[in-house]
Amino acid sequence: MAHESSPFLPQSPRGRPRTVRSWWHSRSRDVVSLLTLLLLVGTGLGIWVYGTLPTSDPDGHPHEYALSTTRIRNHLSKFLEIAEAHNNSRSVTNGHAASAQYVIDQLQQHGSCDVHVQHFMSPVWTVNKAPVLRASGPVMRYGGQGADIKNAKVAVVDDGCTASTIGDVEGRIVLSAFLLEQLGASAVVFIRSSRYPTPSRARVRISDWKEGDPLMTVPVLSVTHSVGQVLESLKGVRLDVFTDTRIDTPDSTVLVGSHLDSVAAGPGINDNGSGSASTLEIQLTLTALNYRPHNRLVFAWWGAEEDGLLGSRHFARVLAQGWKNRWTDSETVGGVTWSQIALDLNFDMLGSPNYIALVHNGTDAPSNARMGSQRIQRVFEDYFVRHQYPFQVTDMLAGSDFLPFVDNGIPAGGVLTGAGELKTIQERREHGGMANAPLDTCYHRDCDGVLNINVRGLDQMSKAAMYAVIPWHAF
């Protein structure tokens, strides 16, 4: 007989009474559980001395160097302790609630943010007996900023526009500039039609721009037709470009998310303790540095990702589509509205033992989120190029919590280190590790503990995450 329970109903994983604080409801035979989605709004208030922070800043990125991999590993050890106390798992029916409480406690004690919890229902799928199939096989579950550029080469590009249409059609200017930035241009100079005596002052921006739509980050200038002819006639000419400009987008929200749950089969320290611990430590480090973002930062620890991205889907459904459930009216998300979210950064698996540094391909995003997603991709690529770390671009099609955002027009991106896919011989040459072996041999298994973490990979990827969190607030 199904029954409603209180949010703190003591239950054991097998249904026997147990004194454990839980954030989920239980229905005896229906196995439907109440999960928590943590939405934490960073406000940058207060100063807290969080250990000894590095003061060295070799290349002008102090926040990145202040992030401590040791403290991230301490969070992972706590996650493992929670899993060991809950049937070696942090899944929605085991240790997820305790993991959520740990994150809440850390943020309330040491962070600088308002903590909000969203509740939603999640069906829990269980295999009571091994499946029988004649052919052997597994059972499936459910079924434009300023710049100072020196001595830059000049490339004359004809993208199909005539000189007259460049000066006349604002949309063409916007699309051409965005395309050239994507191709790696450091600056764009438009040559105006001969019938115009002065350079163009057209907006290099989508006319009906809204939050989440792209903005240029490289300088875009205009010259008269006569100046353009001189530039085109000088073979091998090099230019200096200096601009002192800034684009501000006040009241935008950057969402930084990682899923907190594991699969039922294991403790999930890499998948995704590594991402959620890094996200937690980024917030705590920014608090310790008294960092005050230009725009709002929202940190989210999603529930039920392993059951179909249910936590992030619930968040998007409520905010983007106005969906209601029995908790919606009584719960808040810190005043965040869907229209305020400029982009989503997603961190899912940052410490795979045989890792490859992977950056999500923004081109895979739907058209209404593609340009911004490509911009996010370039920020991550800049981090790896700056450090001379090898990396690869990987697809962004499904499988993690970025999906509900790009599906609803919010640009998204992230980094990861790989799951059960095999490393090729060529990838071994480029990235090290072992060829013909999975990137994570313990993916979704009971051996996904702290010894499954590649510390070097975790250090690189968590700092890449910190690097991506910071620059958006100057735009």
Report pLDDT digits (tens) over 39-67: 433 333 222 233 333 434 556 677 888 99
Report the pLDDT value the prediction gives residue 145, as an integer from 0 to 100: 61
pLDDT digits (tens, 9 = 90+) for 65-74: 899 999 999 9
pLDDT of 276 strictly over 60: yes
How far the first Cα of the chain sits from its last, in Å, is: 56
The tens digit of pLDDT for each residue in 340-380 reads 999 999 999 999 999 999 999 999 999 999 999 999 999 99
pTM passes above 0.75? no
Q: What is the 3-state secondary structure (H, E, C) of the chain?
A: CCCCCCCCCCCCCCCCCCCCCCCCCCCCCCCEEEEEEEEEEECCCCCCCCCCCCCCCCCCCHHHHHCCHHHHHHHHHHHHHHHHCCCCCCCCCCCHHHHHHHHHHHHHHHCCEEEEEEEEEEECCCCCCCCCCCCCCCCCCCCCCCEEEEEEECCCCCCCCCHHHHHHCHHHHHHHHHHHHHCCCCCEEEECCCCCCCCCCCCCCCCCCCCCCCCCCCCEEEECHHHHHHHHHCCCCEEEEEECCCCCCCCCEEEEEEECCCCCCCCCHHHHHHHHHHHHHHHHHHHHCCCCCCCEEEEEEECCHHHCCHHHHHHHHHHHHCCCCCCHHHCCCCCCCHHHEEEEEEECCCCCCCCCCEEECHHHCCHHHHHHHHHHHHHHHHHHHHHCCCCEEECCCCCCCCHHHHCCCCCEEEEECCCCCECCHHHHHHHCCCCCCECCCCCCCCCCCHHHCCHHHHHHHHHHHHHHHCHHHHC
Report the alpha-carbon distance of residue 407 to residue 370 in Å, rounded.
11
Over the stretch 424-461, which tens digit does the pLDDT of each residue have?
999 999 999 999 999 999 999 999 999 999 999 999 99
Gap between the Cα atoms of 37 and 304, Å rounded: 9
- State the Cα–Cα distance between residues 394 and 357, nearest whole angstrom: 10
The two structure tokens encoding residue 252: 């935008």
Q: Are 99 and 82 in contact (CB under 8 A)?
A: yes
Residue with tokens 């922070």: 53
pLDDT at residue 24 tops 80? no
pLDDT value, residue 394:
98
> What is the per-residue pLDDT for 87?
94
Contact 270, 354 (CB under 8 A): no
Within 10 Å of residue 237's Cβ, how many Cβ atoms?
11
% residues pLDDT > 90 (the chain)? 49
Residue with more model confidence, 265 or 145? 265
Question: Residue 248 has which token pair?
Answer: 């501000």
Q: Summarize pLDDT for 75-111 with one digit per residue, the tens.
A: 999 999 999 999 999 998 899 999 999 999 999 999 9
Question: For the segment 295-341, what is each residue's pLDDT rounded down to a tens digit?
Answer: 789 999 999 999 999 999 999 999 998 888 888 888 878 788 999 99
Residue 293: CB atoms within 10 Å: 17
- The rounded distance, in Å, linking the Cα atoms of 257 and 31 is 27
Tell me the HSE value of 399 on the side-chain side, using a 13 A CA sphere.
15
Task: Give 212's pLDDT tier (boundaries 50, 70, 90).
Answer: low
Q: What is the pLDDT of residue 68?
A: 96
pLDDT recorded at residue 330: 80
Residue 36 has phi, psi (to 5 degrees) of -115, 140
- The pLDDT assigned to 443 comes to 97
What are the catalytic residues? Answer: 305
Work out the average pLDDT over 248-268: 88
The reported pLDDT for the residue numbered 247 is: 62
pLDDT higher at 178 or 246: 178
Q: Say what the pLDDT of residue 84 is.
A: 96
Count Cα atoms within 13 angstroms, Cβ side, for 263: 13
Given a cut of 60, is residue 462 above it in pLDDT? yes
What structural domains and CATH numbers belong to the chain?
49-126+250-474 (3.40.630.10), 147-243 (no CATH)
Q: What is the mean pLDDT of residues 251-261?
A: 91
pLDDT of residue 141: 34
The residue-averaged pLDDT of 236-262 equals 78
The whole-number pLDDT of residue 41 equals: 38
Q: What pLDDT score does 257 carry?
A: 97
User: Average pLDDT, whole number, for the chain?
Assistant: 78
Stretch 213-237: mean pLDDT, rounded?
Answer: 77
* Residue 364 or 190, more confident: 364
